[in-house]
Structure 1
Amino acid sequence: MLENSLLQGDTTGARGARSRSRANTTLAGVLVVGLSTACAGSAQRSMQAELERAGVGLAAVPQAGSNAPLGNEGAASELPRFDGTPEPYVTYALVQSHELRASWERWRAATHRVARERRMPSPTLTYAVFVSPVETRVGPQRHRLGVHQRFPWPGELLAGADAATAAARVEQRKFEAAALELRARVLVAYWQLWTLREIEVVEREQLELYESLIEIARGRLEVGQASLANVQQLELGRARLADQIDGLREAQRAAQAALLGAVAAPPDTPTPTTSQLPTLVQPRASEASLRQALVDHPSLGRWQAQAEVGDLRVKEARHARAPGFSVGVDWVEVGPARMDNVADSGKDAVSISVGLELPLWQRNYAEDQRAAQADAAAARAEWAATRDRATAQLGAALSQIRDTARRAALHEDTLIPQAQSALESTLGGYATGDVQFAAILLAERELLELRLAAVQLHAQHAIAWADLEAIVGRSVAGQSAAQPQDPRPEADKP
């Protein structure tokens, strides 16, 4: 289930435990699938229950117009602490994200609009005074008080309430999709920061190699076996590499700010990253099975619910073309009769009225119905377009996973060991005078490029895996990249 992938890991300390608990509550409600019911009131109650479950652990709504400087939210409390693995960042983001809170509030607003659609028209209270009283046998009519109630055609209110419930379901699916997108965005930001830090580690090791080469070149210069140009060329390479490392520090600050922004953490929060390479894995499920799982993605469910809204609005527009009814009661205050001994003198009159609302503008009402039909058709077209994009993205993500796993394994197992051996052989040959100085620079550059490429390939593999789970909408079980992938659908596996 997606909840498992979204809630793995935790922040350390008591604050991390609280965040994990709140995130569990939040994500348990994020992906709850409500049961459709025929009764609008029952559907609304079900929606309210799902809404409350999803909103328990979300961040509080900030005060608009606050004069507190940005980042002071964490000044009065302990800063979050992360253990360096990516999942605690995801857990914290799902709890603290104001963007996710905003999506939940839109869902809440849509849920509360359901009651408005089911509301009966307000009754009308009328009062009239007879400027010229109407004389009757029992006395003059002086005042009239009436109450009238309009009743729409049976089914019109229920259709509107059902459409509003479906519209709230659209916002729910948007909320669920926002949670998936947030998780992927946090993981991408994490692995980008990890890449920059690992590149710095590799380049610092290469900087130490430059120092060793410079010492060797200076020693050979003293005995006349090397030229000053060789030493200067190495010093130039060292200076350029040191400049790259300084540039990496600034890039890391920018990447750290991006990660903290994605998780909604205070700016001064430490952002440790793991020192281990991401594991190279392949999806255990076949591509066909993953493609079948796309139909349950919230992004597709959103358009399914939107099409349902259009269908129900068509039904509502059809009911609106039928006549409405109204019932009224009028009380007429009658004064005393002008003549004496009149039976029922001053007796008030009461009347009951029934009205029929005539929908004369049928052609205009038909336009509302056609507009709703067009909205439903547009939603179905969007569903198909989203499905096509997701299918293409799934294929691209799987291709990226396979390619990065293959190339990263090739770099680790073959290319980097070969480059290291070549550099060692070149250094040995240079010490004996059998190898030219240019060969050392070439071997050193090859090793550096291969090590940097290996780091980037591992990060690209981890990012592609995060994209895959965001595309599928749930966690994806993996297996070692060296193991063959089972081509059978998931349902056919033992």
Structure 2
Amino acid sequence: MKINKIHTSSYWLLSLGLLLVFQQSMSQDLNSYIEQATVNNADLRAYELRYEIAQEKVNESNTLPDTDFNVGYFVRTPETRVGAQRARFSVKQMLPWFGTLTARSDYQHAIADANYMDYLIAKRKLGLEVAQNYYSLYATQAQMLVVEQNIQLLKSYEELALNAVSIDKASAVDVLKLQIRQNDLKAQQAVLDEELNAAKIQFNAVLNTDDDAPVLIADSLVIPLHDVEVAWSTLDQNPELLRYDKLYESITQAETLNQREAAPKLGVGLDYLPVSERADMNILDNGKDIVMPMVSLSVPIFNTKYKSVSKQNMLKHEELQAQRNQRLNRLKSLFAEAVKNKNTARINYDAQSKSLEQAKDAEDILLRSYETGTIDFNDVLDIQEMQLTIQINQIQAVQIYYEQAALINYLTNL
């Protein structure tokens, strides 16, 4: 007896190890599909390009205003004491107030960060879509397998019924009922096969790959014994909320930039005027060119524009705060609903597992009663239909559990 216990324990550990390896393999397959969708998705690429454009605008913002170059030629040359002025060349450069370029760069950095949040949101939504499609495919495939198992089970019952008919323990009606039930299941299997083919095409469309590309789905999924507890506070790390934080920061930087642009602007320049020598006399500095450095100051006396922009930025802050609070409440609602649905799926799965064991026991009792000649094939059909319903419900519970787990993962940024 001791040796048997050791063998049983070893078998249980081996089974558990194989289950863990299988679930890890399933997770790797799903992750590979998510990575494939991330690489191939055109919308996600568009978000990525927007982010790259926003980053490039940082370089654009670190530039001074254009330098002005002017050239003029005197049609009628003005005479001066040292000679006639022939032309005029000037260059001028406006300089923003101290810290303006830094403020402009910080503002563009904040805009780029907000664009990156849009990219992350799109990426995570795509991952959620792939996961939910994957689990839907699993459910359809698992239901097909269960229906096939029940068809084979009915065939074995049909053989029993035929044997019973041969010894007058059952009627031909019982055989026909079993055959009709098989026909129903075969039709159901054909419908599921159509659904599976359509679902695979839709799945490949999400991956942006060929419609007939093979799709590998886990053969069996089970609900784990224990769930990882997820705190409400993790919702704050959701990219949908972080996006509002980045937008809030961009408006703060926009206001800083607005204050810098409301300050005076400096300008430096240089005028150069070539002068022709006078031929009628020889004087000091005869024909000496004129060089005139210049400094200018641009003062926004009428600064209503900048005051209005400051008020707009303040209102945008309030608007974003209200939107963030509203979105946080929505995420909390989705989180609570997902946790409830996930826990409900576990409860239903456990209940269906117990019911399936009891249905198996009832089936065993019916099969044992066949030996005494008291089998009722109406009861057989009832038990079979009950088992199928239980198995389908159990598969749906697994599907809901993993779909809600994927949603919780999206909401909490795990």
TM-score after normalising by structure 1 = 0.72
- Over 3 Å counting, the alpha-carbon distance change for 1:98 and 1:282 in structure 2 is farther
1:356 equivalenced with 2:270 (yes/no):
no
- CA positional deviation for 1:162: 0.6
- Over 3 Å counting, the alpha-carbon distance change for 1:438 and 1:310 in structure 2 is same
2:338 aligns to what? 397
Q: Give aligned-pair identity as a percent.
A: 23
Aligned-partner Cα distance in 1 for 2:223–2:183: 34
Secondary structure of the residue aligned to 2:76 is strand
Aligned residues: 391
CA offsets 1:368-414 (integer angstroms, 9 cap, x no match): 222233333333223222322222222222222222122212222x1
CA offsets 1:53-102 (integer angstroms, 9 cap, x no match): xxxxxxxxxxxxxxxxxxxxxxxxxxxx9998433333444455444433
Query: Unpaired runs of 5+ in structure 1?
Result: 1-8, 10-80, 475-494
Matches within 5 A, 1:453-472: 453-472=393-412
- CA positional deviation for 1:195: 1.1
Aligned-partner Cα distance in 2 for 1:338–1:370: 66
- Aligned with 2:359 (options 408, 419, 423): 419
Aligned-partner Cα distance in 1 for 2:228–2:66: 60
Aligned-partner Cα distance in 2 for 1:418–1:84: 35
Q: Structure 1 stretch 134-143 or stretch 182-191: which is displaced more?
A: 182-191
- CA positional deviation for 1:357: 1.7
What one-letter code is carried by the residue in structure 2 that aligns with 1:467? L
2:150 aligns to what? 206
1:105 equivalenced with 2:49 (yes/no):
yes
Q: Structure 1 stretch 336-345 or stretch 115-124: which is displaced more?
A: 336-345
1:450 equivalenced with 2:368 (yes/no):
no
What one-letter code is carried by the residue in structure 2 that aligns with 1:188? Q
Secondary structure of the residue aligned to 2:74 is strand
1:380 equivalenced with 2:321 (yes/no):
yes
1:259 equivalenced with 2:198 (yes/no):
no
1:168 aligns to what? 112
What one-letter code is carried by the residue in structure 2 that aligns with 1:448? L
- Aligned with 2:90 (options 140, 146, 152): 146
Aligned-partner Cα distance in 2 for 1:196–1:331: 84
- CA positional deviation for 1:265: 4.1
1:322 aligns to what? 263
Aligned-partner Cα distance in 1 for 2:31–2:252: 41
- CA positional deviation for 1:435: 6.2
1:272 aligns to what? 216
Instruction: Indicate conservation of the 8 Å contact 1:82/1:89, yes or no.
Output: no
Instruction: Indicate conservation of the 8 Å contact 1:401/1:461, yes or no.
Output: yes
What one-letter code is carried by the residue in structure 2 that aligns with 1:157? L
Instruction: Indicate conservation of the 8 Å contact 1:314/1:370, yes or no.
Output: no
Aligned-partner Cα distance in 2 for 1:282–1:457: 16
1:34 aligns to what? none
What one-letter code is carried by the residue in structure 2 that aligns with 1:452? I
1:347 aligns to what? 288
Aligned-partner Cα distance in 2 for 1:128–1:87: 69
CA offsets 1:261-290 (integer angstroms, 9 cap, x no match): 3344444432222223234244333x5xx2
1:441 equivalenced with 2:381 (yes/no):
yes
Aligned-partner Cα distance in 1 for 2:85–2:187: 100
Aligned-partner Cα distance in 2 for 1:390–1:242: 43
- CA positional deviation for 1:137: 1.2
1:179 aligns to what? 123
Secondary structure of the residue aligned to 1:327 is strand
Instruction: Indicate conservation of the 8 Å contact 2:201/2:212, yes or no.
Output: no
What one-letter code is carried by the residue in structure 1 that aligns with 2:90? G
- Over 3 Å counting, the alpha-carbon distance change for 1:169 and 1:301 in structure 2 is same
1:122 aligns to what? 66
Instruction: Indicate conservation of the 8 Å contact 2:200/2:215, yes or no.
Output: yes
Aligned-partner Cα distance in 2 for 1:348–1:431: 127
What one-letter code is carried by the residue in structure 1 that aligns with 2:408? L
- Over 3 Å counting, the alpha-carbon distance change for 1:83 and 1:363 in structure 2 is closer
Q: Structure 1 stretch 172-181 or stretch 454-463: which is displaced more?
A: 172-181
CA offsets 1:440-463 (integer angstroms, 9 cap, x no match): 332221110001111111122122
- CA positional deviation for 1:324: 1.6
- Over 3 Å counting, the alpha-carbon distance change for 1:274 and 1:351 in structure 2 is same
Aligned-partner Cα distance in 2 for 1:132–1:98: 65
Query: Unpaired runs of 5+ in structure 2?
Result: 1-20
What one-letter code is carried by the residue in structure 2 that aligns with 1:241? L
Secondary structure of the residue aligned to 1:269 is coil
Aligned-partner Cα distance in 1 for 2:127–2:86: 73
1:304 equivalenced with 2:248 (yes/no):
no
Q: Structure 1 stretch 230-239 or stretch 416-425: which is displaced more?
A: 230-239
Q: Structure 1 stretch 234-243 or stretch 122-131: which is displaced more?
A: 234-243
What one-letter code is carried by the residue in structure 2 that aligns with 1:418? Q
Aligned-partner Cα distance in 2 for 1:198–1:207: 14
Aligned-partner Cα distance in 1 for 2:270–2:286: 22
Aligned-partner Cα distance in 1 for 2:227–2:245: 28
Which one has the largest radius of gyration? 2
Aligned-partner Cα distance in 2 for 1:83–1:374: 46
CA offsets 1:186-215 (integer angstroms, 9 cap, x no match): 222221111111111100011112223334
Aligned-partner Cα distance in 2 for 1:221–1:435: 12
Aligned-partner Cα distance in 2 for 1:88–1:171: 26
- CA positional deviation for 1:220: 4.8
Matches within 5 A, 1:16-55: none
Instruction: Indicate conservation of the 8 Å contact 1:307/1:377, yes or no.
Output: no
Instruction: Indicate conservation of the 8 Å contact 1:94/1:100, yes or no.
Output: yes
Instruction: Indicate conservation of the 8 Å contact 1:331/1:350, yes or no.
Output: yes
What one-letter code is carried by the residue in structure 2 that aligns with 1:366? K
- Over 3 Å counting, the alpha-carbon distance change for 1:425 and 1:103 in structure 2 is same
- Over 3 Å counting, the alpha-carbon distance change for 1:361 and 1:431 in structure 2 is farther
